Amino acid sequence: MKDIEIITKISERSYNELSDTERKLVDAARKATEGSYAPYSHFRVGAAILLDNGEIVTGANQENAAFPSGTCAERSACYYAGANYPDAHFDMIAIAAIGTDGLETAVPTAPCGACRQALLQYETIAGHNVRVILVGRETIYIVPSVRALLPLTFAEF
């Protein structure tokens, strides 16, 4: 018998402790929440992806009267990036959200399971870690890779 321990290292930082590039991406994710269409949940999520060609692609959650037809901010951003910059690779993603109280979430916003799986695909294609920045009002988490958020990943390649 053997136990397997999976450890995820997360770095907790304040906005001022981020690099210029990280700060720029956090700003873009915060701005992207403005594009959220969330008449049902009133939870506005924004995501910003830095590509290796220098472009920053953003997305926001888009809800639908037929609930499952809506999509999360992370997937709206990553599918836009894949569709419009098929040759570029992801370097980093930042995620921010405005809660139902109209304030940025105190707890850093983390991607749902489906978005983790979707993002993992692009990390695999990139062939290197894609840093994930989870933004909260005062606290920001830096996760070194998508894989770190999705241990025992399903991947067919």
Closest separation in Å from C-beta 14 to ligand THU: 23
22 annotated active-site:
no
Task: Report the C-alpha gap between 119 and 125 in whole angstroms.
Answer: 10
Contact between 50 and 89 (Cβ < 8 Å): no
Site for ligand THU in 46-65 (CB under 6 A): 61, 63
- We find the least distance from the C-beta atom of residue 87 to ligand THU, in angstroms, to be 26
| Termini Cα distance of the chain | 28
Strand partners of residue 147: none
Strand, coil or helix: 132 = strand
Q: Of these residues, 5, 12, 63, 74, which one is catalytic? A: 74
Interface map 83-102 toward ligand THU (x if CB under 6 A): --------------------
- Give the span between the Cα atoms of 46 and 61, in whole angstroms: 7
Q: For binding to ligand THU (CB under 6 A), which residues are involved?
A: 38, 41, 43, 45, 61, 63, 70, 72-74, 111-112, 115
